[in-house]
Structure 1
Amino acid sequence: MKTKILVIGMATMIGLAGCSMNEEVSVPKQDGVIGFSIATNKAITRSPIDGATAMQSDGFDIWGYRKSDSHQQVGTNNKPVVATYSNTNTAWNLATAAYWPADASADVDFYAIWPTMHYEIATSIVAGTQTVKYIRKSAESDVKDLMYAKKTTNKTNAAGGKVMLYFKHALSQVQFKGKTAAVGMEVKVKSLQLCNLNNEGTFTFPSAETAASSDHGMWGTLSNPETDYMATINNDVTLNSITNAESLGTPFLLLPQSFTPWNTTTSAKKSIIDADAANESYLKLEVYIKQNGEDILGSNSSYATTYIPLPNPTNDMAFKSGKKYTYTLKFGGGKKEDGDDQFAPIEFDVDVEPWGDAAEENLPL
């Protein structure tokens, strides 16, 4: 798997001219001024965002604490300095200049979150602990990636006074695709809703600095498990192949978490009402299915609602930071609101891949 590195030079009040996404930008040395470079392992290009353009639009927050005595070297009163991009001089600028300690060998711990203020609150970004409270936006159009970086270095070891911040994904990416279960079948999908997952949690930075092979941070204090997510589907998606899968809306960016699938079987049916009461997870879709020209479920003028339990999450299948989960639905039917089958159950194939730099896994279901 090839890796693309995005490196953007940033120093206070320094202009950078036309750089590509695969270049390291040379920044003249400025004694005393702390500068930054940003590196990501496919993190920007593999995100459901507009790459470098989004990064330049949003900016990021940066804190820095002197390791020897916890003095805040970047920011004040435990508040960060905002790094923003200027289209006028094509440069990244710090809102307030930051300087290295007088002792060039004195280490500083740096913590960064991108995009700036996309999290709810930095509850404890201090020298001892680094936690962030995050509440996912309710409208899909408002949801952005959430990334973080941690680095410990000093002026002597920072080339040209620049700190290399390696950003990693804090969220999980979940994509749904669809194909048909039989030749001659055609399925039209109007909407897809992912039901009953947490939308709020607290993220804790990892103990070690971020790098390509480093551990991810941890999520805890998850809440609001009854939250539903509506996929962005601008036009009805038509499925008519048993081999080629089509995307059912743009990917979701979700809090890493485990979940309990809607537990309904032929012998022990459970209704959607009971599933919601138990916060059990499922998909809700509006579909029109026909076989060899004959309507099977819904019609061209009146789509049917069908429900699909999510597959049971094993330890490896629970959503994790920095991983992309692709669920491919093989449409043959679904379930009614009371838990009974409609035509035939829908089956899943699930693929898990690194979204950025997590270890690659392929997990058949």
Structure 2
Amino acid sequence: MKKFLFGTAGLLLIAASCSKNEVVEVNRDGDEISFNVVAGNATKAADIYCNNNKPSGFTVYAESDGKTYINGDRIVSTDGGNTWVNESGTRFWPNESKVDFYAVENGTITWNPDAAEGTAPASIANFEVSTAVASQKDLLYSVKMDQTKGETAETTSPVTLNFRHALSQIVFNAKNTNANLYVEISGVSVVNVGNKNTFAFPTDDTDNNMVDADHDGSFNYTIDYTDGSWGKWNALTSGSTVYPVDFETVKVEGTNTVVDLTANVTGDNTVKNEFNKNALLLLPQTTTAWDPETVPYPGTVGKAENGSYFLVNCAIWNVAGDSINKDTDVLLWGGENGAPKQAAIPAAFTWEQGKKYIYTFIFGEGGGYDPDPEDPDPDPEDPDPVLIPITFEVTVDDFVEVKPSIDVPMEVEVTESTEDAGQGE
């Protein structure tokens, strides 16, 4: 049998902000408040943002001298982020005071200008991630503190906003290391994770823009979440939400080659496409893995106390010859006529904001479990894995001696010729 191992690789994905000129208030000398936005690389068609795929709009709040200065103006761009327009009308810079800006896209700010010292006035309360992958949004946030107008209209710069990703991105690959197996996969679900949480904005600028060169695939890049430029989610350690990702059947042959399960939009399974239409955007959290020995049959619906795991919707065949022949090869795992069937794989998750996690399911070593068998053992101590490897122990019988021994007489019949031969000697 072959085992499903899952591997995680953290790849940083960050969105920078875009700049654009916008206006705030007071003083009509051309010193309008304008914005410059940067956003990073997209990963889910046009729904995930980066430096090469800026959002088309964002909502901004601002505070000056402890008072609300901008109360949720919508800033939009119709030219890919080159210019920005305030739909609420022009805002102007105050003459002397500094202005702190807090911006969000795909979320709603809860605004409290009377927030305690050391706490940002902006937060996002009870943000909920949809279970439909197509409906998930890339939650972005940005902070720019202590901004003032210039000496003249010409020297007044746009407010440069660098947006950070508040969520974690999850994508899936698969690899088959055993030439004697053929696998087809048509879906993956993440089971028992949290789907709602509250986010506090940082109190420092989110200026440090991370671009592709910072995370070139070496996985050596680290984020300092303690530098004050990152917001904070409340602690989240469990949940009962199931996030399914369904896709057209992907073939995983035993060639030890990694294939992409969630991009797979062009028919090319090579893992190179960052713009994954089925990439999950989930809340940062730390979970405990499901333990098959404690809960042998966790089922396919969410139950927080069971712990977190994957459900991989797959079918697996034994390959007897050089290539798969579904008419003659034996189906090892799957439903009727080779239909896919869900296999459960325990997994503990530690997800942080702004990071992309790649999980690779490896078929070929044995493992995986039936989460909801038709005829379960009523008192199982240790559930059997989906596939159990065929192993061999070899012994050879000793030759058994037959007793009594068989006497073979060596009598030579004397003939005339033998006598003559003897005489001749």
Counterparts in 2 of 1:111-260, with a 5 A limit?
A: 111-114=102-105, 118-119=106-107, 121-126=108-113, 128=115, 129-133=121-125, 134-152=127-145, 153-156=147-150, 160-212=156-208, 214=227, 215-220=229-234, 222=236, 225-233=239-247, 235-249=248-262, 250-260=278-288
Q: CA deviation at 1:7?
A: 6.4
> What's the RMSD between the two structures over aligned residues?
3.3
- Report deviation, 1:263: 1.0
The question of whether the paired residues in 1 share the 8 Å contact of 2:197 and 2:234 is answered with yes
State the alpha-carbon separation in 2 of the partners of residues 330 and 245 from structure 1: 9
Instruction: State the partner residue of 1:349.
Output: none
* Cα 1:162–1:126 shift into 2, 3 Å: same
Q: Which runs of 5+ in 1 are unaligned?
A: 14-28, 346-365
TM-score, normalising length: structure 2: 0.64
Q: Closer, same or farther in 2 for the Cα pair 1:344/1:179, shift >3 Å?
A: farther
Matched, 1:264 2:300: no
Aligned equivalents of 1:161 and 1:279: distance in 2? 54
2:351 alignment partner AA: F
**1:64/1:335 CA distance change after superposition, 3 Å:** same
Q: Does 1:320 align with 2:346?
A: no
> Compared with structure 1, are the counterparts of its residues 269 and 199 closer, same or farther at alpha carbon in structure 2 (3 Å cutoff)?
closer
Return the letter of the residue paired with 2:385.
D
* Counterpart residue identity of residue 37, structure 2: I
Deviates more, 1:177-186 or 1:298-307: 298-307
Deviations 1:119-164 (A, max 9, x none): 2x42235363321021112321111101111001211399633111
Distance 1:125 1:60, change over 3 A: farther
Give the counterpart letter for 2:387 in structure 1. F
Change (3 A) 1:247 1:127: farther
How far has the Cα of 1:217 moved from its partner? 0.9
Q: Say which SS state the counterpart of residue 204 (structure 2) adopts.
A: coil
Distance 2:360 2:42 in 1: 19
How has the CA–CA distance of structure 1 residues 289 and 140 changed in structure 2, closer, same or farther, with 3 Å as cutoff?
A: same
Secondary structure of the structure 1 residue equivalent to 2:234: strand
Contact 1:49–1:145 (Cα < 8 Å) also in 2: no
Structure 1 CA distance, aligned partners of 2:166 and 2:70? 23
User: SS in structure 1 opposite 2:303?
Assistant: helix
Q: Do the aligned partners of residues 81 and 194 (structure 1) sit closer, same or farther apart at CA in structure 2, a change above 3 Å counting?
A: same
CA distance in 1 between counterparts of 2:316 and 2:81 reads 55
Sequence identity, in percent?
25
Offset of residue 296 of structure 1: 1.5
Alignment partner for residue 291 of structure 1, among 315, 318, 328?
318
Give the partner amino acid of 1:309.
P
Deviation for aligned residue 1:72: 2.0
- Aligned partners of 2:123, 2:338: CA distance in 1, in Å? 50
Deviation at 1:275, TM superposition (A): 7.9
Judging changes above 3 Å, is the alpha-carbon distance between structure 1 residues 279 and 150 closer, same or farther for their aligned structure 2 residues? farther
Structure 1 runs of 4+ with >4 Å offset: 1-7, 51-57, 87-90, 221-224
Q: Aligned to 1:141, what secondary structure does the other structure show?
A: helix
- Tell me which structure has the larger Cα radius of gyration: 2
Q: CA deviation at 1:9?
A: 3.6
Q: Give the match for residue 94 of structure 2.
A: 101
Amino acid at match of 2:148: N
Q: Which string of whole-angstrom CA distances, capped at 9 and with x for unpartnered residues, describes residues 17-49 of structure 1?
A: xxxxxxxxxxxx973210010124xxx314324
SS at match of 2:110: coil
User: Residues 225 and 279 of structure 1 are in contact (CA less than 8 Å); yes or no, is this contact kept in structure 2?
Assistant: no
The corresponding residue for 1:26 is none
- Which letter maps to 2:297? S
Q: Secondary structure at the match of 2:313?
A: strand
1:65 paired residue number: 63
Q: 1:82 aligns with which of 56, 74, 79?
A: 74
Using a 3 Å threshold, how does the CA distance of structure 1 residues 199 and 179 change in structure 2: closer, same or farther?
Answer: same
- What does the per-residue CA deviation read over 1:325-361, in whole Å, with 9 as the maximum and x for residues that have no partner? 111110245201264311149xxxxxxxxxxxxxxxx
Whole-Å Cα distance in 1 between the matches of residues 311 and 124 of structure 2?
31
